[in-house]
Amino acid sequence: MAENRSPHILSTSANLLGICFIVLTSLKKLALTDGSLIDEFAVAAVMFFMTSCILSFISMRRQQTASQRLEKAADLIFLAGLLVLFLATILIAFNLIK
C-alpha cells in the first residue's frame, strides 16, 4: 500500500514558501536586490514550492490513480525547490554571490 505523502509535501512546501517570501520581502524592503542573485534564487524557489503546494493539494482531492501521479510530480518539484535553496546557500557560504 502506497504512502500518502501529499499532506507532508503540502505543509513543508507551504512553510518553505513562507520563508522565501520573507527573504524576498526583506531584500526588497532593505533595497539589497541591486547586483544580487539572491532574489532570483528566492523567486525560483517560490515558483517551485508554490507549484508543489498546488499539486499536492489537488492530489489530496483526486482519485487514487491520478492522485499518485500528482503526488509524484509534487514530490519532484519540491525536491527541485530544495536544490535551488541548497545551491543558493552554498553560493552565499562561499561568497560567490552577495
Q: What is the pLDDT along the chain (98 residues), one digit of tens a residue?
A: 356 888 899 999 999 999 999 988 888 888 776 667 888 899 999 999 999 999 999 998 888 888 889 999 999 999 999 999 999 899 888 877 66
Q: Hey, CA dihedral for 43, 47, 53, 57, is it positive or negative?
A: positive
pTM of the model: 0.85
Distance CA 65, CA 95 (A): 46
List of residues 6+ apart from 94 with CB closer than 8 A: none
User: Which residues 6+ apart lie within 8 Å of 84 measured at CB?
Assistant: 41, 44, 45, 48
